[in-house]
Protein backbone atom coordinates (compact mmCIF):
# COMPACT_ATOMS: atom_id res chain seq x y z
CA UNK A 1 0.00 0.00 0.00
CA UNK A 2 1.34 3.47 -0.83
CA UNK A 3 1.00 6.65 1.24
CA UNK A 4 -2.40 7.37 -0.29
CA UNK A 5 -3.73 4.05 0.98
CA UNK A 6 -3.77 2.57 -2.50
CA UNK A 7 -2.87 -0.90 -3.56
CA UNK A 8 -1.60 -0.62 -7.11
CA UNK A 9 -1.19 -3.99 -8.80
CA UNK A 10 2.43 -4.83 -9.72
CA UNK A 11 1.53 -4.79 -13.42
CA UNK A 12 -0.04 -1.32 -13.26
CA UNK A 13 2.71 0.05 -11.00
CA UNK A 14 5.39 -1.17 -13.41
CA UNK A 15 3.62 0.32 -16.42
CA UNK A 16 3.12 3.68 -14.69
CA UNK A 17 6.70 4.00 -13.53
CA UNK A 18 7.98 3.12 -17.01
CA UNK A 19 5.67 5.72 -18.58
CA UNK A 20 3.85 3.00 -20.50
CA UNK A 21 0.20 3.42 -21.57
CA UNK A 22 -2.41 2.54 -18.93
CA UNK A 23 -6.20 2.57 -19.27
CA UNK A 24 -8.48 2.92 -16.24
CA UNK A 25 -11.64 0.80 -16.22
CA UNK A 26 -14.61 1.27 -13.92
CA UNK A 27 -16.22 -1.41 -11.80
CA UNK A 28 -19.83 -0.23 -11.30
CA UNK A 29 -20.56 -1.55 -14.74
CA UNK A 30 -19.42 -4.99 -13.49
CA UNK A 31 -21.33 -5.05 -10.18
CA UNK A 32 -24.40 -2.98 -10.98
CA UNK A 33 -24.60 -2.52 -14.75
CA UNK A 34 -24.43 -6.05 -16.16
CA UNK A 35 -26.10 -9.27 -15.00
CA UNK A 36 -24.18 -12.31 -13.77
CA UNK A 37 -22.47 -14.25 -15.22
CA UNK A 38 -21.79 -12.07 -18.26
CA UNK A 39 -20.46 -9.30 -16.00
CA UNK A 40 -17.37 -11.33 -15.08
CA UNK A 41 -16.80 -12.52 -18.65
CA UNK A 42 -16.95 -8.92 -19.86
CA UNK A 43 -14.64 -7.66 -17.11
CA UNK A 44 -12.03 -10.23 -18.11
CA UNK A 45 -12.55 -9.73 -21.84
CA UNK A 46 -12.18 -5.96 -21.61
CA UNK A 47 -8.84 -6.30 -19.81
CA UNK A 48 -7.70 -8.66 -22.56
CA UNK A 49 -8.70 -6.17 -25.24
CA UNK A 50 -6.76 -3.34 -23.57
CA UNK A 51 -3.67 -5.58 -23.41
CA UNK A 52 -4.02 -6.69 -27.02
CA UNK A 53 -4.01 -3.01 -28.04
CA UNK A 54 -0.71 -2.45 -26.25
CA UNK A 55 -1.84 -0.86 -22.97
CA UNK A 56 -2.15 -2.03 -19.37
CA UNK A 57 -5.67 -2.27 -17.91
CA UNK A 58 -6.30 -0.84 -14.45
CA UNK A 59 -9.74 -1.84 -13.23
CA UNK A 60 -10.49 0.23 -10.14
CA UNK A 61 -12.57 -0.75 -7.10
CA UNK A 62 -12.56 -0.73 -3.30
CA UNK A 63 -12.20 -4.10 -1.64
CA UNK A 64 -12.46 -4.48 2.14
CA UNK A 65 -11.50 -0.85 2.64
CA UNK A 66 -8.56 -0.82 0.23
CA UNK A 67 -8.51 1.23 -2.96
CA UNK A 68 -7.31 -1.16 -5.66
CA UNK A 69 -5.82 0.18 -8.86
CA UNK A 70 -5.64 -2.90 -11.07
CA UNK A 71 -7.38 -6.05 -9.88
CA UNK A 72 -6.24 -9.66 -9.71
CA UNK A 73 -8.56 -12.23 -11.23
CA UNK A 74 -9.81 -13.18 -7.74
CA UNK A 75 -10.64 -9.54 -7.11
CA UNK A 76 -12.52 -9.29 -10.42
CA UNK A 77 -14.51 -12.36 -9.34
CA UNK A 78 -15.28 -10.68 -6.01
CA UNK A 79 -16.51 -7.49 -7.69
CA UNK A 80 -18.65 -9.48 -10.11
CA UNK A 81 -20.15 -11.97 -7.65
CA UNK A 82 -20.14 -10.68 -4.09
CA UNK A 83 -23.45 -9.36 -2.75
CA UNK A 84 -21.87 -6.76 -0.46
CA UNK A 85 -20.42 -4.53 -3.17
CA UNK A 86 -21.83 -1.00 -2.85
CA UNK A 87 -21.96 1.55 -5.67
CA UNK A 88 -19.53 4.33 -4.81
CA UNK A 89 -19.46 7.77 -6.32
CA UNK A 90 -16.74 10.27 -5.33
CA UNK A 91 -18.48 11.34 -2.15
CA UNK A 92 -18.63 7.75 -0.87
CA UNK A 93 -14.94 6.91 -1.26
CA UNK A 94 -13.65 8.01 2.15
CA UNK A 95 -16.72 6.67 3.92
CA UNK A 96 -16.35 3.23 2.34
CA UNK A 97 -12.60 2.94 2.93
CA UNK A 98 -12.74 4.21 6.53
CA UNK A 99 -15.40 1.63 7.35
CA UNK A 100 -13.42 -1.16 5.60
CA UNK A 101 -16.27 -1.89 3.20
CA UNK A 102 -16.24 -2.82 -0.48
CA UNK A 103 -17.59 -0.91 -3.44
CA UNK A 104 -17.56 -0.72 -7.18
CA UNK A 105 -16.68 2.76 -8.43
CA UNK A 106 -18.79 4.86 -10.81
CA UNK A 107 -17.33 6.99 -13.57
CA UNK A 108 -16.99 9.87 -11.09
CA UNK A 109 -15.20 7.81 -8.44
CA UNK A 110 -13.10 5.83 -10.91
CA UNK A 111 -11.92 8.98 -12.67
CA UNK A 112 -11.03 10.56 -9.33
CA UNK A 113 -8.96 7.56 -8.23
CA UNK A 114 -7.39 7.10 -11.66
CA UNK A 115 -6.06 10.66 -11.67
CA UNK A 116 -4.75 10.24 -8.11
CA UNK A 117 -2.90 7.16 -9.31
CA UNK A 118 -1.49 8.98 -12.34
CA UNK A 119 -3.79 7.49 -15.01
CA UNK A 120 -5.36 9.91 -17.48
CA UNK A 121 -7.21 7.70 -19.98
CA UNK A 122 -10.40 5.92 -19.01
CA UNK A 123 -12.86 3.65 -20.81
CA UNK A 124 -16.47 3.19 -19.74
CA UNK A 125 -19.84 2.36 -21.30
CA UNK A 126 -21.96 5.45 -20.95
CA UNK A 127 -21.52 8.49 -18.73
CA UNK A 128 -24.05 9.47 -16.14
CA UNK A 129 -25.83 12.73 -16.88
CA UNK A 130 -28.95 14.77 -16.32
CA UNK A 131 -32.02 12.59 -15.77
CA UNK A 132 -35.38 13.31 -17.38
CA UNK A 133 -37.45 15.41 -15.01
CA UNK A 134 -34.30 16.73 -13.30
CA UNK A 135 -35.85 20.19 -13.15
CA UNK A 136 -37.99 18.73 -10.37
CA UNK A 137 -35.99 15.76 -9.07
CA UNK A 138 -32.56 17.47 -9.28
CA UNK A 139 -31.21 14.10 -10.42
CA UNK A 140 -27.96 14.89 -12.19
CA UNK A 141 -25.13 12.34 -12.03
CA UNK A 142 -22.08 13.31 -10.00
CA UNK A 143 -20.14 12.04 -13.04
CA UNK A 144 -20.57 15.48 -14.58
CA UNK A 145 -19.27 17.59 -11.71
CA UNK A 146 -16.45 15.11 -11.04
CA UNK A 147 -15.31 15.26 -14.66
CA UNK A 148 -15.46 19.05 -14.55
CA UNK A 149 -12.50 18.91 -12.17
CA UNK A 150 -10.31 16.10 -13.47
CA UNK A 151 -7.54 15.81 -16.05
CA UNK A 152 -8.81 12.71 -17.78
CA UNK A 153 -9.93 11.58 -21.21
CA UNK A 154 -13.03 9.39 -21.02
CA UNK A 155 -14.07 7.17 -23.90
CA UNK A 156 -17.81 6.42 -23.79
CA UNK A 157 -20.76 5.82 -26.11
CA UNK A 158 -22.26 9.18 -25.21
CA UNK A 159 -24.82 9.16 -22.46
CA UNK A 160 -27.54 6.63 -21.89
CA UNK A 161 -30.74 7.27 -23.75
CA UNK A 162 -32.51 6.97 -20.39
CA UNK A 163 -31.24 10.51 -19.68
CA UNK A 164 -32.17 14.00 -20.85
CA UNK A 165 -29.48 14.19 -23.53
CA UNK A 166 -30.05 17.85 -24.43
CA UNK A 167 -29.73 18.96 -20.81
CA UNK A 168 -26.64 16.78 -20.35
CA UNK A 169 -24.93 18.37 -23.36
CA UNK A 170 -25.71 21.84 -21.98
CA UNK A 171 -24.20 20.88 -18.62
CA UNK A 172 -21.07 19.51 -20.32
CA UNK A 173 -20.66 22.87 -22.05
CA UNK A 174 -21.12 24.82 -18.80
CA UNK A 175 -18.64 22.61 -16.98
CA UNK A 176 -15.99 23.11 -19.71
CA UNK A 177 -15.85 19.38 -20.47
CA UNK A 178 -14.76 18.97 -24.09
CA UNK A 179 -16.66 16.57 -26.33
CA UNK A 180 -15.42 15.08 -29.60
CA UNK A 181 -17.17 12.48 -31.71
CA UNK A 182 -15.02 9.59 -32.88
CA UNK A 183 -15.59 9.20 -36.62
CA UNK A 184 -18.97 10.87 -36.24
CA UNK A 185 -20.50 14.28 -35.72
CA UNK A 186 -23.56 12.79 -34.04
CA UNK A 187 -23.60 12.53 -30.26
CA UNK A 188 -24.26 8.83 -29.61
CA UNK A 189 -27.09 7.75 -27.32
CA UNK A 190 -25.46 4.65 -25.83
CA UNK A 191 -27.76 1.89 -27.21
CA UNK A 192 -28.32 4.14 -30.24
CA UNK A 193 -25.63 5.49 -32.53
CA UNK A 194 -27.29 8.90 -32.80
CA UNK A 195 -29.06 10.64 -29.94
CA UNK A 196 -30.38 13.27 -32.33
CA UNK A 197 -27.81 15.90 -31.34
CA UNK A 198 -24.99 17.09 -33.58
CA UNK A 199 -21.47 17.62 -32.25
CA UNK A 200 -19.25 20.50 -33.19
CA UNK A 201 -16.07 18.43 -33.30
CA UNK A 202 -15.24 15.16 -35.00
CA UNK A 203 -11.93 13.28 -34.81
CA UNK A 204 -10.96 10.37 -36.97
CA UNK A 205 -7.97 8.72 -35.31
CA UNK A 206 -6.43 7.93 -31.93
CA UNK A 207 -3.45 10.02 -33.06
CA UNK A 208 -5.67 13.09 -33.48
CA UNK A 209 -7.04 12.57 -29.98
CA UNK A 210 -3.51 12.25 -28.59
CA UNK A 211 -2.70 15.61 -30.17
CA UNK A 212 -5.74 17.15 -28.50
CA UNK A 213 -4.55 15.70 -25.18
CA UNK A 214 -1.13 17.33 -25.63
CA UNK A 215 -2.72 20.65 -26.63
CA UNK A 216 -4.96 20.52 -23.55
CA UNK A 217 -1.83 20.33 -21.42
CA UNK A 218 -0.13 23.32 -23.00
CA UNK A 219 -3.31 25.42 -22.89
CA UNK A 220 -4.06 24.25 -19.35
CA UNK A 221 -7.60 23.26 -20.25
CA UNK A 222 -6.80 19.82 -18.87
CA UNK A 223 -8.27 20.79 -15.52
CA UNK A 224 -11.52 19.56 -17.04
CA UNK A 225 -12.12 16.19 -18.67
CA UNK A 226 -12.31 15.44 -22.37
CA UNK A 227 -15.01 13.10 -23.60
CA UNK A 228 -14.50 10.96 -26.65
CA UNK A 229 -17.93 9.83 -27.84
CA UNK A 230 -17.59 6.52 -29.66
CA UNK A 231 -20.81 5.16 -31.15
CA UNK A 232 -21.51 1.44 -31.08
CA UNK A 233 -21.18 -0.31 -34.48
CA UNK A 234 -24.63 -1.85 -34.51
CA UNK A 235 -27.31 -0.08 -32.53
CA UNK A 236 -30.36 -1.54 -30.82
CA UNK A 237 -33.62 -1.76 -32.70
CA UNK A 238 -34.93 1.79 -32.33
CA UNK A 239 -38.65 1.09 -32.12
CA UNK A 240 -38.02 -1.55 -29.48
CA UNK A 241 -35.66 0.79 -27.65
CA UNK A 242 -38.29 3.53 -27.45
CA UNK A 243 -41.00 1.18 -26.14
CA UNK A 244 -38.69 -0.25 -23.46
CA UNK A 245 -37.49 3.17 -22.42
CA UNK A 246 -41.08 4.32 -21.92
CA UNK A 247 -42.02 1.31 -19.80
CA UNK A 248 -38.77 1.60 -17.82
CA UNK A 249 -39.36 5.24 -16.93
CA UNK A 250 -42.96 4.48 -15.98
CA UNK A 251 -41.81 1.52 -13.87
CA UNK A 252 -39.21 3.60 -12.05
CA UNK A 253 -41.83 6.23 -11.22
CA UNK A 254 -44.34 3.57 -10.13
CA UNK A 255 -41.81 1.75 -7.93
CA UNK A 256 -40.52 4.99 -6.39
CA UNK A 257 -36.93 4.38 -7.54
CA UNK A 258 -34.67 7.29 -6.60
CA UNK A 259 -31.02 8.23 -6.11
CA UNK A 260 -28.27 5.83 -7.10
CA UNK A 261 -30.78 3.04 -7.74
CA UNK A 262 -32.24 4.76 -10.82
CA UNK A 263 -29.52 3.91 -13.32
CA UNK A 264 -29.14 0.20 -12.33
CA UNK A 265 -32.95 -0.15 -12.33
CA UNK A 266 -33.31 1.19 -15.87
CA UNK A 267 -30.35 -0.81 -17.22
CA UNK A 268 -31.77 -4.01 -15.73
CA UNK A 269 -35.20 -3.21 -17.15
CA UNK A 270 -33.63 -2.79 -20.61
CA UNK A 271 -31.73 -6.07 -20.37
CA UNK A 272 -34.80 -8.03 -19.28
CA UNK A 273 -37.37 -6.38 -21.54
CA UNK A 274 -35.18 -6.59 -24.66
CA UNK A 275 -34.43 -10.27 -23.94
CA UNK A 276 -30.73 -9.58 -24.02
CA UNK A 277 -30.55 -7.31 -27.07
CA UNK A 278 -29.56 -4.27 -24.99
CA UNK A 279 -27.13 -6.42 -23.02
CA UNK A 280 -25.42 -7.48 -26.23
CA UNK A 281 -25.17 -3.84 -27.37
CA UNK A 282 -23.93 -2.78 -23.93
CA UNK A 283 -21.15 -5.37 -24.08
CA UNK A 284 -20.12 -4.30 -27.59
CA UNK A 285 -19.95 -0.70 -26.35
CA UNK A 286 -17.61 -1.52 -23.49
CA UNK A 287 -15.35 -3.63 -25.69
CA UNK A 288 -15.06 -1.06 -28.42
CA UNK A 289 -14.50 1.81 -25.97
CA UNK A 290 -11.73 -0.13 -24.25
CA UNK A 291 -9.97 -0.79 -27.54
CA UNK A 292 -10.16 2.87 -28.53
CA UNK A 293 -9.00 4.04 -25.09
CA UNK A 294 -5.98 1.74 -25.36
CA UNK A 295 -5.17 3.09 -28.83
CA UNK A 296 -5.39 6.64 -27.47
CA UNK A 297 -3.20 5.77 -24.47
CA UNK A 298 -0.60 4.25 -26.79
CA UNK A 299 -0.68 7.26 -29.14
CA UNK A 300 -0.52 9.72 -26.23
CA UNK A 301 2.49 7.99 -24.69
CA UNK A 302 4.61 8.39 -27.84
Could you list the active site residues? Answer: 26, 160
State the angle between helix axes of 238-254 and 262-273 in degrees (0 to 180), rounded to the nearest 10: 130
C-beta closer to ligand PSU: residue 70 or 126: 126
Span interacting with ligand PSU, options 7-15, 35-43, 123-131, 236-244, rule CB under 6 A: 123-131
Binder of ligand PSU out of 13, 61, 62, 107 (CB under 6 A) = 107
Task: Please say whether the beta carbons of 159 and 189 come within 8 A.
Answer: yes
Give the range of 121-129, 178-186, 213-221, 230-238 binding ligand PSU by CB under 6 A.
121-129
With a CB cutoff of 8 Å and minimum separation 6, the contacts of 258 are 137, 139
Residue 49: Cβ within 10 Å count? 22
Q: Say whether residue 143 binds ligand PSU (CB under 6 A).
A: yes
With contacts defined by CB under 5 A, how many residues of the chain interact with Mn ion?
Answer: 1
Determine, following the binding rule CB under 6 A, whether residue 260 of this chain makes contact with ligand PSU. yes
Nearer to Mn ion, 139 or 235 (CB): 139
Instruction: Please tell me whether residue 33 binds ligand PSU under the rule CB under 6 A.
Output: yes
User: Which of residues 39, 282, 289, 290 is near ligand PSU by CB under 6 A?
Assistant: 282
What is the full DSSP assignment across 130-155?
A: BBTTHHHH--B-HHHHHHTT---EEE
State the alpha helices, DSSP H only, in the chain.
Answer: 10-17, 28, 38-52, 73-81, 93-98, 107-117, 134-137, 142-147, 165-174, 206-219, 238-254, 262-273, 277-301
Q: Of residues 12, 16, 22, 26, which one binds ligand PSU by CB under 6 A?
A: 26
* 278 torsion bin: left (phi>0), alpha (psi -120 to 50), beta (else): alpha
Distance CA 253, CA 257 (A): 6
Q: Considering only residues 181-220, where is the footprint of ligand PSU by CB under 6 A? A: none
The burial of 277, by beta-carbon neighbours within 10 Å (0-12 exposed, 13-18 middle, 19 or more buried), is given as: middle
Give ∠ CA 296-301-302 in degrees, rounded to 5: 105
**Residue 164 is a binding residue for Mn ion (CB under 5 A):** no
Contact status: 139 vs Mn ion (CB under 5 A): yes
Cis amide prior to 91 (ω within 30 degrees): no
- 278 lies in the binding site for ligand PSU (CB under 6 A): no
Among 29, 60, 229, 257, binds ligand PSU (CB under 6 A): 29
- 141 near ligand PSU, judged by CB under 6 A: yes
> For residues 16 and 34, which CB has a smaller minimum distance to ligand PSU in the complex?
34
Region from 14-22, 77-85, 139-147, 215-223 binding ligand PSU, contact rule CB under 6 A: 139-147
Residues that bind Mn ion (CB under 5 A): 139
Amino acid sequence: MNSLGFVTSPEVAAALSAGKPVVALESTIISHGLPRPSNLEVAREVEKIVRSHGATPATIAILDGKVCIGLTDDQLVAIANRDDIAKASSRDLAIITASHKSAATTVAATAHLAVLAGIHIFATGGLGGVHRGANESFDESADLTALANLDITVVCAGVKSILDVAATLERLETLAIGVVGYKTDKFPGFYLTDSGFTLEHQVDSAQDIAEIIHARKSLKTNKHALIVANPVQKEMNRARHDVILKSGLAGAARDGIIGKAVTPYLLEHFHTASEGESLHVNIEIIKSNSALAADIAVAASQ
